[in-house]
Amino acid sequence: MKHSLLFIVLISVISCTEKLPKYATLSGKISNPDSSLVLKIYNSDYAKDIELNEDGTFNDTLHLPPATYELKHGNEYGSIYLENGYNTSFTTDYNEFDKKLVYNGDGSDRNNFSIQSYLISGHHITQDLFETGTEKDLNSAIQNYMKDFEELTAKYEDLDSTQIANGFKDMENNIIAIKNYFESKQAIKKALPVGSPSPKFTNYTNINGGTT
């Protein structure tokens, strides 16, 4: 009995100390893929092309340092966090790349949180808001953006405190940029209201000499 217990303990210790694979596995499917049938994954320190099958499926192993990587397929882009030992997959549709992008497996909460944060921003902060919106409209959009973002952080349980803190910091920086851009658009509208005459350019040197 003692020998059996010792054997079980040894097996448990060995299992716990087994090293993770020195590579990441990335698989998935891109529906309606681009004719290139190539998925590029890269950052400043790493780059690899993954070949897709005719139906858009793919499966490959990657030897890479832990980092966030850019994804590119045809004219569409995305991002993904990977590290060695991960077994990760994603599915999407080339025609709606961002909206249909869903991650599964290791790091899925982190990656899904990233893409959903981006989509929430685009949902509330639109070009129409900058073109025709009022300051009241802007403030309402920002409040809804912040509310949805906070709910998003509670949705993904595997996010750690650093990821959440970085997400809030990115949101705050995004809001500052949004307000600055809105103010610049408002200033232009005030300086050049709709229907006002075009500015006259006088006393400028022409390309062939003389002035206008």
> Taking all residues of the chain, what is their mean pLDDT, rounded to a whole number?
88
pLDDT over 90 at 203, yes or no: no
Dump pLDDT digits (tens) for 100-133.
Answer: 999 999 999 999 999 999 999 999 999 999 999 9
10 Å CB burial of residue 30 (0-12, 13-18, 19+) is buried
pLDDT over 50 at 151, yes or no: yes
Confidence class for position 209, pLDDT limits 50, 70, 90: low
For domain 20-106, the CATH class is: mainly beta
Q: Which of 72, 59, 3 is nearest to 29 (CA)?
A: 59
Query: Model pTM?
Result: 0.80
Dump pLDDT digits (tens) for 63-96.
Answer: 999 999 999 999 999 999 999 999 999 999 999 9
> Would you list the domain boundaries of the chain?
20-106, 107-192
